[in-house]
Amino acid sequence: MRKYFKIAIYLIMAIGFSLAHAGSYEDFFMAVHQDDAATIQELLQRGFDANAIDPSGRSGLFIAVQEGSLKAADALVAWPKTQVEWRSAKDESPLMMACLKGYTDLVRKLIARDADVNKPGWTPLHYAATGGRLDIMQILLDDNAYIDAPSPNKTTPLMMAAMYGTTAAVKLLLDAGADPTLRNELGLSAVDFAQKGQRPDAADLIAAAIRARQPKGTW
């Protein structure tokens, strides 16, 4: 009889834990969407897993950055058990999203937590260059980001800046030593990217950088 009583107690405790965890799961992701840092901190202190994945396959930190819930993102980055190098199905990291959206302070905090500046494939510098985020681009370069990092199809940050970013972003990369002569797997150069993006100022700047590399008398 006593044995069955103990089993019943264990079952009640297990069911209670499951229900509490289910409620915490919903509360956690609601707090992320609502940028409710206080609730997130409370749940984490109670033992909720900061790296839980929502039904769409995203971590709480990734959602927070993607949706601009910056208080929630700060709370999660500050939590030592949060995996800042989580990757989405598209191989995007929270640092990449922060770079794209221009969240400079968050970029610094993620790098301080050892977020990978030079992850293989598309890199944070590609994303910062795409958004023309000059301050973030400089932060990444100062942290030894590879300036000519090749994407899976060999597209460089300079190419992304040329087509989608700003002329100032192109100039920053060129001044920092980006190679304007590189081509991607389709044979397209940074000049081609600028022309496709209808960015004549960027195209002229890149073309001038290419001419400056050539020995005198060849152009």
pLDDT in tens, 95-131: 999 999 999 999 999 999 999 999 999 999 999 999 9
Exposure string over 56-95, b if 16+ CB within 10 A, otherwise e: eebbbbbbbbbbebbebbbbbbebeebebebbbeeebbbb
Specify which residues 183 forms β-bridges with: 189
186 close to 155: Cβ distance less than 8 angstroms? no
Supply the CATH classification number for the domain 1-86: 1.25.40.20
Q: Which of 15, 19, 41 is nearest to 28 (CA)?
A: 41
Helix, strand, or coil (residue 59): strand
Q: What is the pLDDT of residue 4?
A: 45
pLDDT in tens, 130-150: 999 999 999 999 999 999 999
Q: How far is it, in rounded angstroms, from Cα 14 to Cα 60?
A: 25
Band (7; pLDDT cuts 50, 70, 90): very low
Q: Does residue 13 register a pLDDT over 60?
A: no
- Mean pLDDT (whole number) for 53-73: 97
- CATH class of residue range 117-219: mainly alpha
Q: How far is it, in rounded angstroms, from Cα 11 to Cα 93?
A: 40
Band (202; pLDDT cuts 50, 70, 90): very high
Dihedral Cα 79, 45, 101, 177, nearest 10 deg = 0
Q: What is the pLDDT of residue 217?
A: 57
Instruction: Give 56's DSSP letter.
Output: T
Do 1-86 and 117-219 fold alike per CATH? Answer: yes
Q: What is the pLDDT of residue 214?
A: 81
Per-domain boundaries in the chain: 1-86, 117-219
Q: How far is it, in rounded angstroms, from Cα 154 to Cα 122?
A: 9
Give the global pTM.
0.87
- Mean pLDDT (whole number) for 65-73: 98
Q: Percent of the chain scored above 70 by pLDDT?
A: 88
